[in-house]
Amino acid sequence: MEDDFGLFDPDTPARATSRSEDGKAGETPELVYGSAEEFLHEQLLPTYVRSVTGKSAKWCIEWYFHPEAVSRVAAMWRSWEHLRLDAATGMSLWWRDHADHHMRVLLDPQGPFYNCDMKEHRDPEHLEPKKAPTGWFPDVRTLPA
């Protein structure tokens, strides 16, 4: 199954350049993990251990079929790769602002895996929107500057 995640390609980190003290662009640090999936298996799940009973926490063994989960795992991976370079408070910030936040949402019984159980993936029901009346949300790309 191939999903279109729009402009957010979960496995291609945005190119970043570091700046030296003199303001010149430096080399981009090498990634520790090559993909969001590798990060999930090698770093996140081995360190973020929780009891997943289905009542207080839910997980889907086929997490990659849930676009929200893919996006959140990729966000955790990208932020981890960036914050690991801050030896002072980087990991503390990552745990507080990224891992704890996103994992709380992912594991919530009403979160993206609400319809799944530990052994079986079930496609979620998507929210169905109704289009707003014409003109309520103009395309800002076409408005004069």
Closest among 104, 135, 115, 19 to 60, alpha carbons compared = 115
Higher pLDDT, 38 or 118: 38
Residue 90, domain extent: 55-122
User: Is the model's pLDDT at 12 over the cut of 90?
Assistant: no
> Distance (Å, rounded) from C-alpha 57 to C-alpha 135?
42
Total structural domains within the chain = 1
Q: Cα separations (Å) of 66 from 85, 91, 130?
A: 30, 27, 22
User: Is the model's pLDDT at 119 over the cut of 90?
Assistant: no
pLDDT at 17: 47
Please report, rounded to a whole number, the percentage of residues in the chain having pLDDT higher than 90. Answer: 54
> Distance (Å, rounded) from C-alpha 15 to C-alpha 29?
10
On whether residue 16 sits in a domain, the answer given is: no
Higher pLDDT, 127 or 77: 77
On whether residue 30 sits in a domain, the answer given is: no
Contact assessment for residue 94 and residue 79, using Cβ atoms and an 8 Å cutoff: yes
pLDDT at 53: 81
pLDDT digits (tens, 9 = 90+) for 55-68: 899 999 999 999 99
